[in-house]
Amino acid sequence: MGVTGSPTNINQGTRTKGGIGESTLRPDGILKVTGEFAYSSDMWHEDMLWGHTLRSTVAHAEIVSIDVSEALATSGVYAVLTYDDLPAEMKNYGLEIQDTPVLAHGRVRHHGEPVALVAADHPETARRAAAKIRIDYRELPVVTDEASATAPGAPLIHEGRDDHHIGHVPHPNIVHRQPIVRGDAAAAEARADVIVKGDYYFGMQDQAFLGPESGLAVPAEDGGVDLYVATQWLHSDLRQIAPVLGLPEDKVRMTLSGVGGAFGGREDLSMQIHACLLALRTGKPVKIVYNRFESFFGHVHRHPARLHYEHGATRDGKLTHMKCRIVLDGGAYASASPAVVGNASSLAVGPYVIEDVDIEAIALYTNNPPCGAMRGFGAVQACFAYEAQMDKLAARLDMDPVEFRQLNAMEQGTLLPTGQQVDSPAPVAELLRRVKAMPMPPERQWESAGEHADVRALPGGLSNTTHGEGVVRGVGYAVGLKNVGFSEGFDDYSTARVRMEVIGGEPVATVHTAMAEVGQGGVTVHAQIARTELGVSQVTIHPADTQVGSAGSTSASRQTYVTGGAVKNSCEAVREQVLEMGRRKLGTHHPAWATAELLLEGGKVVTDGGEVLADIADVLEDEAVDIELEWRHRPTEAFDLRTGQGNGHVQYSFAAHRAVVEVDTELGLVKVIELACAQDVGKALNPLSVVGQIQGGTIQGMGIAVMEEIIVDPVTAKVRNPSFTDYLLPTILDTPTIPVDVLELADDHAPYGLRGIGEAPTLSSTPAVLAAIRNATGLELDRTPVRPEHLTGV
């Protein structure tokens, strides 16, 4: 095919049993550390062209004219495309609402919106040619927040909406609204001895995956296209790409290429359609790679949110009621906003028992950058606010903040505000107890070096801002509630094809799914499942592509649960067929073939009593067993649009954090010393990966607590810091020690009893850090990230 850098089979052998519960190592780990792993940006094709995207320089404008003539005339340029060149009737895409133009049509709605495409024989030629495209913009007033979105006469971001939310939203600049009402919050208020209110702001976080958006589209002889791309969900991409190209889905063949992180930012399309359009137009392979600057405009971000919360409690510390209103800024296009609203509202109460609640969540259409999926998905913003409220309540009641939370903690059997009962372990109080019981990090660690202050242990680090002056320690706690899997009645299935055959005398299993490995470790876990279920040591993981059924998204902490479940299910079917084959071929050799419970272990067919009946190789001989099956978890229901009632979620996930910080109170600089975490994971399929996920989620949560924020100019709606120079991510010097306590309380509804784990630690990390900073400074701190000027009051 001529594509280099596209994934190949991953063959994984193991000296141990390598089944579930073992910390087998990632097959791609060493390659990634040594730089040999081929990411999507490393792919190459001999005749390929380079695509470049011209993006709007303003947030909201009418496009008066576009003149591409000079760009087209540039030597080395093969194609310049605008809206007028789109080949099919369908010219938009979108995860749920198809409101996003492939290329802007007469109007741009946010800074950085794609307007035109160029293909050239060199990336620099493409970039320079794009700069020669003349666009005449007539700027329009910008909508930037709830007030400007719903003001009388506000410009409508999308006129003539006909999506399925328009019927129940109060204004066309509101994407979706979800109220959740249970009990009688107004009546319960009368029982409250204390009432605490707060207004909170959660800043816009970026996924900041290190591998920028990239892929390679190769036109095929049948008029179709082969697309190699880094994404989170191949089949969701396919469903959006094919109609815009005017091709049936079977003519768009997708293969997952090396993904350098995702965190939700690859749920939406970026360069996929653009590369295919250019490839089909030029008849040549086209590669597109965003640089970091463009990447900040190339994917959606975490919704910034304004949250108003009101809680009441009795004098003895029991929560009486909660009212809240959550306003999420979805930006110019819907992306995942409706589902984020569903999560924010249905998880707004947090892991607490409150019978009387009145919740409302909305997402706005504005001219700000589009926002969508990011690790924690609506639950993160709510957790930041309700955990601040818990601390305020505890302080008002003069109670210990952990004891107050434990007193109100949900448990198995609790009814959520949606009316859904939590029907698996919910060890909220226990997780808090565990983080609180962990030993505290020693005080004044910067003095450990003797007479010298070790500034690396101090706020400011090597910037040498303090030798201990002004430094105050603070401790804070938080716990969160996250759903696992896609919710609200979505058919959240996965597909796995498993093949078993004898190669070189040894039974080998091949697992083929469309699961996007984005770093979460699915390729490791699938091999472990196959070993456990099929008793083989050699497992081949086939590259993920659309030649097999959908695996659903690598999102919502769901892949080990759902695609892991699908792999388990298909392995079980393969095992049954192998045993059936054995009974047919060898059944007369031993009576146990007919009478005993049979397993596949260590390459052999064994009875449950451990007696070996045959080698798997002798059963299979030169035959192969090859089965592809879809697998589904328990169905969920939509939330009622007025009351929010409904069994909307599949499973819940819980983590608790204790943050220890040191704050230079004069300069407002923070050093997070330790972030201890306790999390229930149901069953740790790969304990090392579990700890890695928890530590990664913890750091990502810390990032939005103290430094990460996309800053959008409130007047122009333009992004002010689209670079890693000014969008700061935690470095290793900012990373605290993260002791992790893993609890394994099985969820009987889930494969192996496992619980999705990737997101929960991102929820509680942020409010724990904020609580610790409040504890150190005595300040209220109602927004995140917290900046030095907020801590110094200047």
Partner 1 sequence: MDFLRPASWEEALAAKAEHPTAVPIAGGTDVMVEINFDHRRPEYLLDLNRIGELTEWEVGQENVRLGASVPYSQIMEHLRAELPGLALASHTVASPQIRNRGGVGGNLGTASPAGDAHPALLAAGAEVEAESVRGTRMIPIDAFYTGVKRNALEPDELIRAVHIKKADGPQQYSKVGTRNAMVIAVCAFGLALHPETRTVRTGIGSAAPTPVRAKEAEEFLNAALEEGGFWDSRTIITPSVAQQFATLAAGACNPIDDVRGTASYRRHAVGIMARRTLGWAWESYRGNGRSTEGAA
Task: Note the residues at the interface with partner 1 (CB under 8 A).
Answer: 127, 291, 293, 449, 451-456, 459-467, 469-470, 666-669, 671, 706-707, 711, 720-721, 723, 725-726, 728, 730-734, 787-789, 792, 794
CB of 296 to partner 1, least distance (A): 12
Rounded CA gap, 357 and 378, in Å?
18
User: Is residue 595 classed as helix, strand or coil in its secondary structure?
Assistant: helix
CB of 295 to partner 1, least distance (A): 13
Rounded CA gap, 478 and 405, in Å?
9
CB of 727 to partner 1, least distance (A): 9
- Report the half-sphere exposure of 672 (CA within 13 A, side-chain side): 35
- C-beta closer to partner 1: residue 222 or 469: 469
- C-beta closer to partner 1: residue 614 or 729: 729
- C-beta closer to partner 1: residue 65 or 725: 725
CB of 273 to partner 1, least distance (A): 25
CB of 35 to partner 1, least distance (A): 14
Is-cis flag, bond preceding 243, omega within 30? no
Rounded CA gap, 403 and 140, in Å?
53
- C-beta closer to partner 1: residue 626 or 734: 734
Strands 740-743 and 3-4, by their bridges, are unpaired
Structure tokens at 387: 């955990």
- C-beta closer to partner 1: residue 214 or 240: 214
Strand (E) positions, 132-223? 134-139, 174-182, 194-202, 214-219
Rounded CA gap, 667 and 4, in Å?
51
Structure tokens at 233: 């969900």
Amino acid identity of residue 706, one-letter, is: V
CB of 131 to partner 1, least distance (A): 8
Sign of torsion over alpha carbons 555, 560, 565, 567: positive
In 10 A of CB 437, how many CB atoms? Answer: 11
Q: Are 211 and 331 in contact (CB under 8 A)?
A: no
**Calculated CA dihedral for residues 526, 530, 532, 534, nearest 10 degrees:** 170
CB of 671 to partner 1, least distance (A): 6
CB of 126 to partner 1, least distance (A): 13
Q: Are 183 and 312 in contact (CB under 8 A)?
A: no
| Unique residue bearing structure tokens 């599949």 | 650
CB of 277 to partner 1, least distance (A): 24
- C-beta closer to partner 1: residue 595 or 731: 731
Distance of CA 575 to the CA centre of its chain: 33
Q: What is the DSSP string of 351-366?
A: SB--SEEEEEEEEE--
CB of 669 to partner 1, least distance (A): 7
Sign of torsion over alpha carbons 318, 324, 330, 335: positive
